[in-house]
Every structure is written in C-alpha cells, then in structure tokens.
Amino acid sequence: MRTTATATATAAPAPVLAPPGETQTVSVSELVLEYLKGEGVRAVFGLPGGPLSPLFDALYHEPSLRTITARHEGGAAFMALGYARVSGRLGACFVTTGPGATNAITGIAAAHADSLPVFTLTAQVATSTFGRGSIQDSYDRLDIVAMLKSVTKLSTMVANPHNLAMTLRQAIRQAMTGRRGPVHVNLPTDFMKKRVPCDLQLPHEYRPVSRAFDREAVKQAAEELFAARRPAILAGNGVNLAGAQAELLELAELFSIPVATTPKGKGAFPESHPLSLRVFGTASSPWSESILLEQGTDVLFVIGSGLHESSTQGWESRLKPSRSLLQLDIEPSVIGRNYPVAVPIVGDIKTTLRELLFHVRRLLALGEHRIETDGERLTDLKRASSPLLDEAAAHSDAVPIRPHRLMRALNAALPAAAIIFLDSGNNTLWGTHYLNATGRNVFVHNWGDFGAMGFGVAAAIGGKVAAPGRAVVAIVGDGAFAMNGMEVATAVAYDIPVVWVVLNDARLNAVHHGQTLLYEGRTIGCDFPRMDIAKIAEGLGAAGVRVVEPGAVGPALRAALASGRPTVLDVWIDADEVPPIHSRIRSIQKFFAGMAS
C-alpha cells in the first residue's frame, strides 16, 4: 500500500520535447529511475533525507516504482538484497548522505558476500560545499565512496551530471554480469534536479547476458564422471543463483550420483529425493558426512561453491577425493583456491550443465561409454541410519519447546513453495539441519561468508515484495530480532504479509553454546532478560502470537499465513538444547591453534 501522498501523486513529467534537431531532456533523478525501470525494478527501498529529497520527489511522480521507507538504512539494504535474491533482478536502495550511507554498509556487504545485484544510491552534499564542513558531508571528512569500494563491485561518485547515463550503465553492467554483486553510486544533491539529455538505453544494448561455457573442460568433466565408481556432488548457492536446479537434478539422476548441498546451497536439490545427502558443512547431515568423508569418494563434482569454511567443515582434508575434483563456478578466482582441482570449469552454471548433459547423452547414444557408479552404498546407508543427528528430539512434546521439534512442526505446516529466510545465529543451525528442502521452496541465509544478524528480519520483506503470491517466512533468533525488529513496522505500513518465527530463548545462543564447548562451560555476555516479542509485534502494528507448546506451532503458522497480515510468532524454546554446531567448534579450535586445515 502506498502512502496517501504517493497514492494521489500526479503522473511523472514527460521528457521535455526539444525543438527539431535537439535532444530531449529529463532531470538527473528521472534518468536514474528510468534506468531502474528498464532493469525490471518495481520497488525502491530506502529512507529519505535532505540531500536525497529531489530523488524522492521524483519517486513521488513515478507510480510504477513502489517506494518503501524502512526504519533503518541497514534494513533498507537488506530488503533490497532480499528483493534481488528472490526476483533474480536488480535490487535498489536509496539512502541519504553521512550516517544514512554508513548505516547501509552492513546490508551492502551482505549482498557482496552473497553475490547479489543491489544498486545503492547515496546522496552527497552539494558540490559547492565540498571541503567547507557541510553537515553530513561524506565527501572529504567521510569518504563514503572509498568506504564502500571493498564491499561492492563498483563504488563511484558522479562528478558531472552529463556523465550520469554512462555511470549508470557502467554500474548496472557490473552488478548484473559475471559474478553478480552490489554497486554504489554517490550523487551530489545539486545535480539531482539538473536537466540532462535523455540518454536512455535498453539493458541488452549496454550489458551482455552471460551464457559462457568451456567446451574442452565439459568434455574432460564427462570423462571423469564416466570413470567414477563412487562419485558425489556438492552443490553450492551458485546453483540457486543460476536457476540450475533442474539441470543438477537431471545430471544426478543420469549418473545416480549422491548430492549434498552446502548450507547456503540448501534448496538446490530436493532433500526428499533418494539421491539426496542433505547438507554438508556447518550443521551437516550424518549421510553427507558418511559419503563425503568416511566412505571414500573417488570423484567429487563441486558446483557453485567456493569451498569456504562453512561448506567444508573448516577445510576438512578428508573431503579431497581419491581420483579427481571437478569444480564449476562463474568466478575463476574461487576455483582451486582451497583444494587442488583436476578439472576447472569456468562458466555460467546453468549453461555449462546443459552442455555437459548434451555431451554425456551423445556419448551414451554412440555406445562409447557406460555408467558404472555404485548405487548400493547410498541405499545401504539410508537403510541403516537417520539423516538427522537427533530424530527422537524432533518428536518430543516437552515444554519449553525443543528446537528440533519446532523445525519438525514447521516442516509440516510450511507450504511446499514457501520462501524461507534464515537469520544468522542458532536458528540457522537448527533450520539448516532439520528443515526439509522440498525442491520447490527457496532458502535464503547469510551465514557462512558474512553472517549478519538481523539479515533475515528485514530481507524477508524485500523477498515478499518480489514474490507477493508466495508464502514468505523468516526464522530468526531473539538476538537478531532485537537488532532489526523495528522493520516489522515497515511491513505493517506497506501491508507486506511476512511471517516471522522468533526463537525466543533469552540468549545469544550460538555464541553461548560455542563458549560452553570451547571454555569448559564458561560463558560471558550472552544472556539478557527475556523479551515479550509478541507484545513488541503488537506495538508495531503486527499480529503477535506467543507459542509455548509444540502442538500449537503448526496451527499458529497456518493461521498467520492465512490471515494476510504481518505476523510475529514468539516461540519460547528450550535454551539449553545444543544446536548442530560441533563442526564449527572444531574449525574455531583449529584457528586458535594457527591451523587452516
């Protein structure tokens, strides 16, 4: 729902019609919006401020762009990230100069870690005041362009309004090509109303769509897969970002290859499938650990993962296969970074897998190769063991609610195509291990590369804006909710029906259990008074529901989704249950000892 002022706004001014032979003009602010519209952006997240006001005035006149004002610039950046992740398009975030820009940095850094294309525009004080001590100057006293260079693919200031179109094309091209990521444009306020030529180009005119693949590497990969007897696939978040889930499934079924996903790759492969090993890395499944670490994989095909700490249990040496490691990624710099690679494959994941499937089927049709993988080991493993560390706890009716049981109740109540945002903390560990990926749903979290707390609280709002017809549920801890919970009010203001499931245990519990395991039971700085999160939600205008018994979880979630209202479920859980954190603790212990593997 738009604010009253926006709802009654007049139509956007048309480009000024120039005399014959001369160029039509638009304002700088209007040109920014035209480029975003051309990229399919349908919502802009941000907060207004004095230097940014001309751009927000342009938004007032642009009904095709929904303007969503967050409660904090960090929340706005997270929302733009969530929008980009779910839509696959550019996310847009507008914030003002000085503290508005610095507040947004964490969200921009999270987008950088997750390879998500977010266009952030920050205001700048007027050029006539540069170096004179203007309020909220982020030019010389606080160089916001320099600050954002390390967490963006491009960070630049517009030095001349007549160069704006070129700068916008450069920024969007960087954001949307190759390994995607955030970009930052800093725009002085005195430029925003200036009229410039309407130098507008369509996306295909200024940025390519990458469908690259390496034919020779594809042929080598096929030979290695044909030679494998005990192969496995480790699928990362790159599969999700490339939309290559169907190709991954087809490849796994063709060769009967067991598939594990990294924690951030959860959802790339349906965990109900007979070939699924569920998650490997932080919060691993026993099935994935058995196949990848204990039974001796001869060929490991890593798809869309840089094999960082949380994807490898701290670079576990046993993950290295006995014969060959194949690694496919769009980013060359991550290939071979942590494990020696026999066949490096650089290219678009979806296109490369299609080419690999085509080549393999051609060889099979010619009768030149046979598939001879050992399928019995996986059948025997699944017959003899559970994929969960504590399946009995998932059936417990104890009060306070055991987190294992909470996840089982969510599995039963979540729609098959739900979009699930996991915030960073204890909830990530419980959700990664115990929630089921159906193959139709989407899992989004920031744990691993960056791990920003409060991420899921706000990013879920952007996700719902991008997919209004799908259920969006954020699973967060009470510590993360305390950081960004005010964004519930944003969802209320714009009638965005996200459901937040808050694990309320009055602790920073991932840290608490980590300290307990590392320091002989000693903890410090982790506990705080239990918050009445249901009342906080009600105070923000949302529905707030306290849930204290396991049997109430499913009905409460179903009712929240059916209500069409922003709703917070305040779930009181057993704080003393230890999450599946042990591989992370082993990694930390190695780091303390100065060991990388």
Q: Which of 123, 105, 114 is nearest to 84 (CA)?
A: 114
Mean pLDDT is lowest, of 16-20, 75-79, 469-473, 500-504, for: 16-20
Strand pairing report for 343-346 and 419-422: unpaired
pLDDT value, residue 581: 81
Strand pairing report for 419-422 and 299-303: unpaired
User: Are 65 and 93 a contacting pair, CB within 8 Å?
Assistant: no
Check pLDDT > 60 for residue 14: no
**When comparing pLDDT for 372 and 522, which is higher?**
522
Average pLDDT over residues 289-305: 95
CA distance linking residue 391 with residue 384, whole number of Å? 14
Beta bridge partners of 420: 443, 473
Average pLDDT over residues 205-233: 94
What is Dmax (Cα atoms) for the chain? 81
Check pLDDT > 50 for residue 333: yes
User: Are 442 and 240 a contacting pair, CB within 8 Å?
Assistant: yes
Question: What percentage of the chain carries pLDDT values higher than 70?
Answer: 93
Average pLDDT over residues 414-430: 95
User: Are 114 and 237 a contacting pair, CB within 8 Å?
Assistant: yes
Mean pLDDT is lowest, of 158-172, 437-451, 456-470, 508-522, for: 508-522
pLDDT value, residue 72: 98
Phi and psi torsions of 569, nearest 5°: -95, 115
pLDDT value, residue 39: 97
CA distance linking residue 89 with residue 463, whole number of Å? 12
0.75 cut: is pTM over it? Answer: yes
Check pLDDT > 70 for residue 479: yes
Phi-psi region of 116 (alpha: psi -120 to 50; beta: other; left: phi over 0): beta
Phi and psi torsions of 17, nearest 5°: -75, 115
pLDDT value, residue 4: 32
- Residue 261 tokens read as 């996903």
Establish whether the linkage from the previous residue to 203 is cis, with ω within 30° of 0. no
Question: What percentage of the chain carries pLDDT values higher than 90?
Answer: 81
Check pLDDT > 50 for residue 77: yes
Environment class of residue 69 by beta-carbon count within 10 Å: exposed (0-12), middle (13-18) or buried (19+)? middle
Check pLDDT > 60 for residue 108: yes
pLDDT value, residue 347: 96
Q: Where are the alpha helices (DSSP H) in 293-342?
A: 309-312
- Residue 277 tokens read as 């090993």
Q: Which of 529, 524, 274, 535 is nearest to 382 (CA)?
A: 274
Check pLDDT > 80 for residue 588: no
pLDDT value, residue 597: 55
CA distance linking residue 91 with residue 111, whole number of Å? 10
DSSP letters, 459-507, are HHHHHHHH-TTS-EEEEEEHHHHHHHGGGHHHHHHTT---EEEEEE-SB
pLDDT value, residue 594: 64
Mean pLDDT is lowest, of 165-169, 408-412, 443-447, 501-505, for: 443-447
pLDDT tens figures, 515-554: 888 888 898 988 889 999 999 999 999 999 999 999 999 9
